[in-house]
Amino acid sequence: MIDLILDYLSNSSAITILVLVLLSAYLVTIFWIFIYRLMALNSLILNEKKSLETLTSRGSDISPLSSLYKCSSGSSSKHILHACEISIIKDASFGISWLSIISSTAPFIGLFGTVVGILESFAKFSNHGKVGFSIIAPAISEALVATAAGIFVAIFAYTFHQILVRKVYELNTYIKAQAEILVAKG
């Protein structure tokens, strides 16, 4: 397997290698963003869920661990709580848009690599009088690796984006519920 990859890279053009390096950097980036944001969001959601449970079950005040409490400094003003909701969600969704950008650009970067690879293959074969399918097919299949890599990266980026957007929505739900209870109490 390693020999196959090394052989592929040694026969590839600089553009194809550049495309694959860029897509590899994209892949590392999306995994880093996903893991980092998922851990942060899960922690926030857990705190807000516990705070909401405290507000609804015991009728007591908001938990000091709540982001809403920290932001509003215990105020139950509707305007302050709304501003805090916006601020918390903005901070919680930081970096998630990069996953959307990567999911939409990765296939195009891969396609660019494929087009360049096919053009280079045709340029190589233009000096030959007669070229059969057995010569052209391997060259085109090697060029299609870039498109496959772009789609592979896009699948992860899109999936991770959707998961994190759902987590932000869940966090927003807990924060809004707490804010409504605090305004009603205030």
- Backbone torsions φ then ψ of 13, nearest 5 degrees: -80, 170
All residues at 6 or more sequence positions from 98 whose CB lies less than 8 Å from its CB, including other chains: 29, 30, 33
Q: Place 58 in a pLDDT band, splitting at 50, 70 and 90.
A: low
pLDDT over threshold 90, residue 54: no
pLDDT over threshold 80, residue 1: no
Residues 74/182, Cβ–Cβ less than 8 Å: no
Q: Which pLDDT does position 59 carry in this prediction?
A: 62
Q: Which pLDDT does position 9 carry in this prediction?
A: 67
Q: Which pLDDT does position 104 carry in this prediction?
A: 96
Rounded to the nearest integer, the mean pLDDT of the chain is: 88
Q: Which pLDDT does position 168 carry in this prediction?
A: 97
- Alpha-carbon gap, residue 95 to 102, rounded angstroms: 11
Q: Which pLDDT does position 151 carry in this prediction?
A: 96
What integer is the mean pLDDT of 41-46?
Answer: 96
Q: Which pLDDT does position 92 carry in this prediction?
A: 94
Q: Place 162 in a pLDDT band, splitting at 50, 70 and 90.
A: very high
- Alpha-carbon gap, residue 99 to 97, rounded angstroms: 5
